[in-house]
Chains A and B, each alone.
Chain A
Amino acid sequence: MMRFLLLFSRQGKLRLQKWFTPMSEREKKKIIRDMTTMVLARQPRSCNFLHWKDLKVIYKRYASLYFCLAIENQENELIALEVIHRYVELLDKYFGNVCELDIIFNFEKAYFILDEFLIGGEIQETSKQMVNRSIEASDMLQEVRCAGTHSHTQHETWLASVV
């Protein structure tokens, strides 16, 4: 299974953290520190795999964001790279040419998309279209629910203003 997924910028600022095993805040902070240090120190053309404690860490840089996925030792590193890539594709489809700012300002949506792709450190859906459809439907559900309590003309602004 996957143990955690971290997204951070080139300056080491955290943009998303998904943990698949329970850990104290202190441990999480330490892991984040370790990961950012290790990954940011890597040479540009090194291989994408690292060893850290008893885990394999797969990292890949997309524009200004580093995606860092830790998997257990018996997992397949090459397919883990594909997992990262699939997530990036999903974000890209949703936001349309996704960039770091999208993830900063809409972090909750990044989480929602991730939760339609992975559960408990495993892949739940292998079809891009299915994941996208689920997200769109859930978004619509937010709107519909809102439209029930406010006047119809206001529902679009409500969606934007609710969060």
Chain B
Amino acid sequence: MPAPIRLRELIRTIRTARTQAEEREMIQKECAAIRSSFREEDNTYRCRNVAKLLYMHMLGYPAHFGQLECLKLIASQKFTDKRIGYLGAMLLLDERQDVHLLMTNCIKNDLNHSTQYVQGLALCTLGCMGSSEMCRDLAGEVEKLLKTSNSYLRKKAALCAVHVIRKVPELMEMFLPATKNLLSEKNHGVLHTSVVLLTEMCERSPDMLAHFRKLVPQLVRILKNLIMSGYSPEHDVSGISDPFLQVRILRLLRILGKSDDDSSEAMNDILAQVATNTETSKNVGNAILYETVLTIMDIKSESGLRVLAINILGRFLLNNDKNIRYVALTSLLKTVQTDHNAVQRHRSTIVDCLKDLDVSIKRRAMELSFALVNGNNIRGMMKELLYFLDSCDPEFKADCASGVFLAAEKYAPSKRWHIDTIMRVLTTAGSYVRDDSVPNLIQLITNSVEMHAYTVQRLYKALLDDISQQPLVQVASWCIGEYGDLLVSGQCEEEEPIQVTEDEVLDVLEGLLVSNLSAAVTRGYSLTAIMKLSTRFSGVNRIKKVVSIYGSSIDVELQQRAVEYNALFKKYDHMRPALLERMPIMEKSASNGPTEIVQTNGETEPSVVDSKHPPPVSQPANQANDLLDLLGGNDVVPVIQTTVPTKPASAGGELLDLLGDLSLTIPPMTAYNKNGLKIDFTFERANPNPNVAVITIHASNSTEADMTDFVFQAAVPKTFQLQLLSPSSNVVPALNQGTVTQVIRVLNPQKQQLRMRIKLTYTLKGSPVQDLAEVNNFPPQSWQ
């Protein structure tokens, strides 16, 4: 059998392959040769074969059949074998492999080998990838080596101990004695790894942390020597002595000084010294400064030191090196909450970073800018942020838009400014704003009563320019529907009013309906807006036509709306004005979410503010419409009938509380008694809200025939809110054989006298009956 080809030969051959297929073929051939060589238990060339296998493994090919061979190499006496064997183990034999534990004995033997380089191999392998079991078995050996005077082994043993502690934290105690004089070493390798070991122990155990606090003076001394000592060729990096060790010591000091006044004080001087003396022309100096700043900010440093730290970060921001700027922004973001004023001083530099070319820096600068916005700088900051929004990459736009809205809401100096800002965001990043911005914005606009004309004008102009950005289009169509009358009458005070005719407005809205760019939701907004204009514009015929066309739209939502609006024209025209009148001011709920209870005029517009919840079906709206007309239009709020009270907690959550207390201290009453139909009211108080009265109606029928299709409706004055739950049945059985019950909840925050108008419809012996009544005889306890 010829000798297996050498590693470098194989590498050269494989690199000549021109295609993936060719390479695979070569690899397979060589793997086959290697496999048979392994089978022959060839000791001489095992090392060469495993090395080749490792190369092929790096190319991405499977190499698991070499695992046992690695073990054999480790067990060999030849140093070359061991070297390759341990390398193979680290690459192929991690703790997930079954044969991993078989290494334990070999490693144990090698830890006690006479040659330090063999011991080193074993320590390195154990420290890189030893499993928990292996660590448990060999911890004692590691601990022994931690106490040796051989610095080559001691430093490796220290890192091995770190690994053992990470894998088996309970073993931490056993390494404690060995740490006694670790810091008195002169050898930097041992010092560095010792500091790492101490750091690991302090991070994991508060007891250890307390125990090691006494090392602070020693650490300070070592650090001082590093800074003050002259040039040391062994550890010099660009004029700085052992920056790796300095950084590690600073980090340990941070952990030791945190929440401890004495330790913090002991390190104050050295931190100031490092901060002022470190050379900043190269990255390595800045790395040390960076670590120093992090330490100063974390411990209980005096304020002068903190200001020094923030100023260092400020200087970092002006550094040409991108990495330094990035790191500065990240650190400032961490400290902006605690040292807000100090960070504010660097605001203009931070804002300049918004114009940086680097994506990571821009993002950090954006986050930091938002954190710095306050009532004093809102105008200036917003200008910069809006400019950023204009020009930034799409990945930033959503977050930036949200941030702008939040900041504007908190600090807007005037309503007009607020609306202008929103307009700007909608027109520049309109497609990126989040879904819930639309209802929030509509609410904001509604509540800025004096700005309605201005807002609708601006939105109209924006629509003329661009109808592709859906959130903008939705808000605009809603506003035009609501305030279209102001638009055509040219009433704007804030800016030059534009001349718009009713037809032009309808052109725009109809354009939205047919445009490919409009989403289904947008079309819904648009149709409803057109409908609303029927009470605000003089010419109704065009609107009637549009509505009737969409009655046969394929889109179910549009069709439903159109059909209902059509019905409004045809059968309920007398209530159209009241139905479509101006929205009242909306109450804002505490949360950002769309869960407000909105007092609507019975329209299906709750979908605007409550887009996440299924809008109440417009059926009850139609029923409510009757009542509105009966009750004289403006001063009554109709019922929002829900079939199931499953809406999550909201501002009006009390109304949904099913756990009403049964305090039957309120006497029942008869609300209606006519033509055989009797309606009684019984009362409860809903806990916990004493403002809510829960009324249960009991309808009974004393005639000989059943009353079918029984519908009970109620309306209350505007200061109340009313909710009707579903009835037990629609049939009131004849001859008092049973009752239909239904629950009404009345919210009466102003504790006014309760009065109600009710409407009853039913069919008796084939003919429909309808009646209205006023209920004024509520017992005082029901509303007091």
Contact = CB atoms under 8 A, between A and B. Distances in A.
A122 B51 contact: no
A88 interface: no
A105 B9 CA distance: 9
A117 to B, nearest CB: 10
A120 B95 contact: no
A104, A129, A162: most-surrounded residue (chain B CB, <10 A): A162
Contacts of B235: 126-127
A124 B156 contact: yes
A82 B79 contact: no
B322 interface: yes
B7 A163 contact: yes
Contact of B159 (A16, A122, A141): A122
A40 interface: no
Contacts of A119: 123-124, 127-128, 156, 159-160, 163
B291 A47 contact: no
A26 B84 CA distance: 24
B8 A162 contact: no
Nearest to B360: A47
A126 B156 contact: no
Interface in A59-82: 76-79, 81-82
Contact of B322 (A46, A83, A126, A146): A46
A46 B359 CA distance: 8
B174 interface: no
B68 to A, nearest CB: 17
Interface in B3-38: 6-8, 11-12, 15
B243 A108 contact: no
B475 interface: no
Contact of B124 (A46, A104, A115, A129): A115
> How many A residues touch the partner, as a band?
35 or more
Nearest to B55: A107
B335 to A, nearest CB: 15
A79 B287 contact: yes
B47 A163 contact: yes
A49 B326 contact: yes
A130 interface: yes
A49 B287 CA distance: 14
Interface stretch (B186-194, B396-404, B516-524): B186-194
A37 interface: no
Contacts of A83: 244
Contact of A78 (B48, B59, B123, B324): B324
Given A76-B247, A77-B327, A108-B51, A124 B87 contact: no
A24 interface: yes
A145 B115 CA distance: 12
A123 B94 contact: no
Contact of A142 (B8, B80, B286): B80
B361 A111 contact: no
Given A79-B291, A138-B117, A125 B6 contact: no
Interface in B232-247: 233-235, 237, 242-245, 247
B162 A122 contact: yes
Given A48-B323, A127-B189, A141-B117, A120 B160 contact: yes
B80 A146 contact: yes
Contact of A76 (B80, B291, B358): B291
B580 interface: no
A120 B127 contact: yes
Contacts of A99: none
> How many B residues touch the partner, as a band?
35 or more
A9 to B, nearest CB: 12
B568 to A, nearest CB: 55
Contact of A145 (B79, B91, B234): B79
Contacts of A137: 117
B290 interface: yes
A19 to B, nearest CB: 8
Contacts of A161: 6
Nearest to A58: B323
Contacts of A43: 357-358
Given A120-B160, A137-B117, A125 B189 contact: yes
Interface in A83-138: 83, 86, 104-105, 107-108, 111-112, 115, 119-120, 122-130, 134, 137-138
Contact of B358 (A46, A125, A129): A46
Contacts of B11: 104-105
B245 A126 contact: yes
Contacts of A46: 322, 357-360
A67 to B, nearest CB: 15
Contacts of A162: 47-48, 80
Given A46-B322, A78-B283, A122-B159, A29 B247 contact: no
Contacts of B129: 22
B152 interface: yes
Contacts of A49: 323, 326-327, 360
B162 A20 contact: no
Interface in B356-376: 357-361
A55 interface: no
Contacts of A115: 124, 128
Contacts of A127: 188-189, 234-235
A111 B84 CA distance: 10
Interface in B280-311: 283-284, 286-287, 290-291, 294
A82 to B, nearest CB: 6
A77 B287 CA distance: 8
A45 interface: yes
Interface string A34-55: 0000000001011111110000
B196 interface: yes
Nearest to A16: B58
A122 to B, nearest CB: 5
Interface of B: 6-8, 11-12, 15, 47-48, 51, 54-55, 58-60, 78-80, 83-84, 87, 91, 94-96, 115, 117, 120, 123-124, 127-129, 131, 152, 155-156, 159-160, 162-163, 166, 188-189, 192-193, 196, 233-235, 237, 242-245, 247, 251, 283-284, 286-287, 290-291, 294, 322-327, 357-361
Given A23-B94, A163-B51, 18 more contacts: A16-B58, A20-B128, A22-B94, A46-B357, A76-B251, A78-B286, A108-B7, A122-B159, A122-B162, A123-B196, A126-B235, A126-B245, A127-B234, A142-B80, A142-B83, A146-B78, A149-B78, A162-B80
The 7 lowest CB-CB distance pairs between A and B, nearest first, are A78-B287, A47-B322, A125-B189, A119-B159, A79-B287, A120-B127, A120-B163
Interface of A: 14-17, 19-20, 22-24, 29, 43, 45-51, 76-79, 81-83, 86, 104-105, 107-108, 111-112, 115, 119-120, 122-130, 134, 137-138, 141-142, 145-146, 149, 161-163
14 contacts: A46-B357, A49-B326, A78-B286, A83-B244, A86-B244, A104-B11, A120-B162, A123-B192, A124-B159, A125-B188, A126-B235, A126-B245, A162-B80, A163-B6
